[in-house]
Structure formats: structure tokens, C-alpha cells
Amino acid sequence: MNDRNLVRGLFIMTIALVFGLGSLRYSIGQFSRAGPGLFPLMVSCLLFLIGLISVVRSHYVARLPLNFNLKNIAIILASLCGFALFSQHLNVTAGILFMVFCSSFAATTYSVARNLKVAAGLMAVALALHKLLGLNLPLI
Amino acid sequence: MEALHNLAFGFEQALTIQNLLFCAVGCVVGTFVGLLPGLGPLATISLLLPLTYSIPTQGALIMLAGIYYGAQYGDSVSAITMKIPHASSIVACIDGYQMTLKGKTGLALFTAGVSSFIGGTVAIVVLTFLAPMLGEVAFLFGPADYCALMLVGFVCVSFVTTGSLLNGMAMCLIGVLLGQIGTDVNSGVPRFTMDLPFLAEGVGLVSIALGCFGIAEITKNLDDRNERTPFNGKIKLMPTWAEFKRIIPSALRGSVVGSFMGILPGGGPVIAQFGAYAIDKKFSKYRDEIGSGAIEGVAGQAAADEAAARTSFIPLMSIGIPENAVMALMLAAFIVKGIQPGPNMIATHPDLFWGLVASMWIGNVFLLVLNVPLVRYWLSVFKIPYAVLFPSILFFCCVGTFSINNNLDDIYITAVFGFIGYLFMRLDLDAAPLMLGFILGPMLEENFRRALLLSRGGFATFVTRPISGTLIGLICIFVVWQVAAFFLQQRRKAAAPGIVVGEF
């Protein structure tokens, strides 16, 4: 299964199936009076076909290994979601602090002093965006 | 002669001290805000629109146009140096970023600046002399023709990005499907929203762009343990004469493509960039280098982008129909100022129309003489170590997402697309075709359904109409050529095992 071409084909087919099966929940209608499900169903069928061709093709080309490192993407996504969550329930200042301190775990080095400086700089930028451009950021 | 007289009248309007100031401020502020990773032209105009409320009508529109061009140039700067683009600079990421990796950031930025100037100048000539006539070209296109035009766009994109028609088309179609999320405009049925209220309006373009490009790129740099951004902080702006000579033909080709594509609703800067890039890849003397950091790869698309941005004002001002989100914002600005763009605008507000046209060229000059030399100072931000820079980029991604709808929920969507973009990257699926599919998907569906409705369900309408028939014929020829080339290469490979086989 560690074949990038094969996984790519299967991934494309999965997306096609998700949207294709989802579109069956809506009215298909007729070509002359298409329902909301017709167009996504047609596109999904075409996408499924492309995925199938990719899977078949993967048997005839050289295998390429897959290279996933989920640690960094997980840290980045946690930082983004944390920023949104803290900004919603507390304020943007807390959101910035969380994002900087959390995302820095993905960097090659970790420094609390550096994080504090970056967070202070970003808070200043957020304040400038709020005051000068009228961006409606919940700062406090 | 009448056109020249009108243009002179426009310059008379635009060359007042006040309007020159508005134009300069718009260009500089637009560039600076657009330069910030995560803020593209759409977000920049959205943010700066309130600034123009207290300014006189003509000055406000001139300033907004300046913000638009400035943001476009600023956006291409962040695309070239950091591979963080928006719709207006997706193609700049391909060769522009490759040039940065080769240490030619200055040359790439100079090429983008000069090519934008050439593209903008050609487009203004087109706008001045052909605006009334070219505005009517759009009326020749029926729904089936729009569908065929968009399919041409998809094939172009698939061809120019990964070099694999299969992967490119797959990404286009995934983009089209993502564009289906939200409320169906014909029936009012919410589709693929999973009963989440914030998906009723669909997924935001900015969320997908920032997720698939910005977040994925940051993660890639972190995975590679990069200490700094690929941009090394050194800038040599001025090219050699030999390099400069390579810019001109490509920029002129891009200008023509962009001027034409900009007029067509469904065309616009995004498809124009890809069209110009495909043409360069086909006809340029240095076509073999395109994709690996060639000057032509930056020049053609930058000229087309700028030209299309200018000529996309034609449908807005002559028909009153905005062809993309940026133009929709411009329409909003017109309406706020009590102006209704449409067929009567040139006759009823000649000072506004021609003043805006003239200010476009003045804005071009400002971009060239102010921004290109100044960019070396602004780029000093990128000399910062990556451990400091990437949390800042994440913050700007969040602000860019939030600023569109003032909604923090959109950041979750950006995070989801960050993960999807990471998967795409690891599976060698280029996200650029996805963006085009996403932008054109809803228009494709609307025109597809309309074409079938008009033809009572008959698919023959797509081949019997001269324009769509020709375009679909071209697509068929291209696909057959690609398949034949793939099998021919396979056969050659079988005959001589040393040859590297291209992808289908």
C-alpha cells in the first residue's frame, strides 16, 4: 500500500464517492430540467473514472514511496483551531499567545523569550489592524 | 480620434494633485497590505474599502483601483518569495518561486513589475479604443459557449501545472465539487453542507487558498527543517540585457491573452494567467525551461494577470455585471457612491469612466517607479528566521480568513483545507487546478444547466454552436494528442529502456 500513485488514485476515488453518493440525496431531475443533484453526480462520475484510471495506471509505472509526517501538520492545525477557539471564547490576545506557543513546537528550536516577543509583535499588529483598518477583532 | 480625445479628458481628470495622491496612496497601501502573507487583493480591498467612504466619488474609485493593482503586485511578491498566493498570483508560484529557490528573487520581482506595466498599458489601449465594441463580444457567448470556454480553461490548467493531464483534471473536478458546497442557486436546496449553518454560503475561496497553499507550504518547510525562508534576503533587481530581452515577447503575448480573457465573463485574471502560461509553454523560445524557474514563466502570466484585471472592468462598467469577487466589491463601491455601472455609465459619467481609465495607467507608473525599487526594503521582513516568521504567517492567514466575513468559524475551514492541502502535496496533486475548478465550478454548473434547459436536454447544443463546437473540438484534439503522445512514449520506452517517460 506504500505506493503514492496507487494511494492517489484511491484518494481521488474516495472523494468522488463522497460527493457522488451525497448527490443522490438530492433530486436528479432530467437533462432538460436538471435537479440540484445532477451536476455534482455527473462530475463525481467523471472524477471516479479518473481515479480508476489512476489506480490501473499505478500498476504500470514505478512505485513511489509515501512520505507522511503528521506531527507538524497536527501542531499547525491545533494552533489554528486553538486561535479560533480562544478568540471566540476569550479574546484575540489569548488566541495569539496560544497560537505562537503551540505552533513553535513544530520549529527546530523552542524559546519562551522568543515566543513572548513574537506574540507581543503580533498583538501590536492586531491592534494596528483594529485601529487603523477597522478590522473587527475581539482584542480584549 | 474621439478615443484619444476621451483619453485626454480622462488624464485631465486623473492628473489633479488630489487624484494623483489618492492613486499613489492606493497603490502603496495596497502593495503593503497585499504583501502580507495571507492577504490577497480580495481581502485587501475588503479591509480598505471603508477608508474610501469619506473620499469624493472620483478619488475613492481611483484609490480603490490603486489598492487593487497594488494588492495584486504585493500578492505576487508573497507568491514569488514565499509561495503564498491568492487567486491573482497562483501561476506566479510556479516559476516565480522556482526562481527564488535559485536565488533570483530580484529578477523575478523585476520581471513581474515590468510585465505588469506592459500588460496594464496594452490593456488600457484596448480599453480605450475597443471598450464599446469589445463589451459586446460577451453578448455573442451563449451558455454552451461559456461551458466550453471553462472546459478549455480546465484543460489548459491541467496541462501547465503538474504536466499530468489526469492529475490536473482530477484536481479541477475536485475544485468544481467543492464549489457545489452551499445553497443551490436554482432550487434553493443546501448541498453538502452537513447541516452546518456557516457552510450555507459555501466554502470561502480564501479558506481554500490559504489552506491548500499557505498552510501546506508552511508545513512542508517545517518538515524539511528549514531555518529560514527560501528567500535569501539578497536582491539584484536589474536584469542583464539578455534577460530583459526575454521579458518583452512573453509579456506582449500575455498582454494580448489577458486583454481578451479579461473581457469574457468566466474568464478574468485567473484563467488569463493560465492561458498565457500555456501559450508560453507552447510557443516560447525557452519553453523547455518553463516550470523550473524561467523568466517567461513569470513575465507572461504577470502581464496577462494585469491586463485581464484592467479589461475585467469592461463588463462591469459597460454591462454592469461583475465577473469575479473583486469586481463585485468594486460594484459595491460604485453603488455606495451612488453610481450604477451599466451601458449608460460612459454617457452619464464620462468624467468617472475616463478618469478611472487614465488613472489605471498612472497607477501602473506608480507601481513601476515606487514599488519595484522599494520592494527590497519591504522584503527585509523575510530575512527573519523561519521560527519567528511562520507563527506570524499563521496569524496573517487567520486574519485574512477572518476579514472576509468577520467570522472566526472560517478559520476552522481554513484548518481543514490546510490538512487537505497537505495530503494533496504529499500525493503530488497540485492545488492550482483545484482553485480554478472551485472558482469556475458554480458558473460552469449554472451555464451547463441553462444550456440544457434551452436545448430541451439535447447535448448536441455543445457541438452545433460555432463557438462551443470549435472550443470542444480543440479540447478533443488536445486530449487525443496527449493520449497518443503517452502511448508513443511508452512504445519508445519499451524500445529503448533509458528514456524517461512523461506523464499522461
Q: Over chain B (504 residues), what is each successive 10-residue block's mean pLDDT?
A: 79 85 85 68 68 76 84 81 69 82 82 88 82 63 82 74 77 91 86 85 80 81 67 67 84 88 69 83 79 83 87 75 68 77 75 84 82 70 74 84 80 90 87 79 87 87 88 87 78 64 48
Handedness of CA B434, B435, B440, B446 (dihedral sign): positive
To which residue does cell 481521488 refer? A12
Beta strand B182-183 with B190-191: parallel, antiparallel or unpaired? antiparallel
CA distance between the termini of chain A = 50
Say which residues have a Cβ less than 8 Å from residue B194's Cβ, sequence separation at least 6.
none
Q: Which of B56, B403, B289 is nearest to A126 (CA)?
A: B403
Chain segment A57-102, per-residue pLDDT in tens: 888 877 888 777 788 899 999 999 999 999 888 888 999 999 999 9
Q: Chain B residues with CB inside 8 Å of A99's CB? A: 391, 394-395, 398
Q: What is the largest CA-CA distance in chain B?
A: 72
Please name the member of B408, B414, B428 whose beta carbon is closest to the beta carbon of A8: B428
For the record, the C-alpha cell of A129 comes out as 489592524
Asked if B141 has any chain A CB less than 8 Å from its own CB, the reply is no
Please name the member of B184, B403, B414 whose beta carbon is closest to the beta carbon of A36: B184
Is B363 within 8 Å of B10 (Cβ atoms)? no
Helices (H) and strands (E) in chain A, counts: 5, 0
Stretch (H or E) spanning B190 = strand B190-191
For residue B80, count CB atoms less than 10 angstroms from its CB and return exposed for 0-12, middle for 13-18, buried for 19 or more: buried
Q: What's residue B132's pLDDT?
A: 61
Q: What's residue B343's pLDDT?
A: 66
Please name the member of B170, B394, B452 whose beta carbon is closest to the beta carbon of A76: B394
Please name the member of A100, A125, A135 whose beta carbon is closest to the beta carbon of B403: A135
For the record, the C-alpha cell of B439 comes out as 472558482
Q: Chain A residues with CB inside 8 Å of B174's CB? A: 12, 15, 47
Q: What's residue B502's pLDDT?
A: 47
∠ CA B350-B45-B317, rounded to 5°: 25
Structural domain boundaries in chain A: 4-58, 70-132
Q: What's residue B499's pLDDT?
A: 46
Q: Chain A residues with CB inside 8 Å of B190's CB? A: none
For residue B191, list its beta bridge partners. B182
**Residues B425, B431: Cα–Cα separation, whole Å:** 8
Measured CA to CA in angstroms, residue B460 lies from B71, B198, B443 at distances of 43, 39, 20
CA of A99 vs chain B CAs: smallest distance (Å)? 7
For the record, the C-alpha cell of B403 comes out as 476579514
Q: Chain A residues with CB inside 8 Å of B418's CB? A: 73, 76-77, 80
User: Residue B182, SS3?
Assistant: strand
For the record, the C-alpha cell of B12 comes out as 485631465
The stretches of B367-431 forming alpha helices (DSSP H) are: 372-378, 386-405, 409-426
User: Residue B338, SS3?
Assistant: coil
Q: What's residue A101's pLDDT?
A: 93
Is B150 within 8 Å of B490 (Cβ atoms)? no
Average pLDDT of A22-49? 91
For the record, the C-alpha cell of B239 comes out as 536584469
Asked if B185 has any chain A CB less than 8 Å from its own CB, the reply is no
ipTM: 0.92
Q: What's residue B289's pLDDT?
A: 79
Please name the member of A68, A76, A84 whose beta carbon is closest to the beta carbon of B408: A84
Q: Chain B residues with CB inside 8 Å of A53's CB? A: 166
Interface of A with B in 42-71 (CB under 8 A): 43-44, 46-47, 50-51, 53-54, 57, 61, 64, 66-69
Half-sphere exposure of B386 (CA within 13 A, CB side): 22
**Residues B38, B46: Cα–Cα separation, whole Å:** 13
Q: Are A73 and B395 in contact (CB < 8 Å)? A: no
Q: Chain B residues with CB inside 8 Å of A67's CB? A: 426
Does A1 have pLDDT greater than 70? no
Q: Which is more confident, A20 or B261? A: A20
Say which residues have a Cβ less than 8 Å from residue A74's Cβ, sequence separation at least 6.
none
- Using 50, 70 and 90 to split pLDDT, how confident is the model at A30? confident
Structural domain boundaries in chain B: 2-464
Q: What is the pTM of this model?
A: 0.73
Interface of B with A in 39-98 (CB under 8 A): 47-48, 50-51
User: Residue B431, SS3?
Assistant: coil
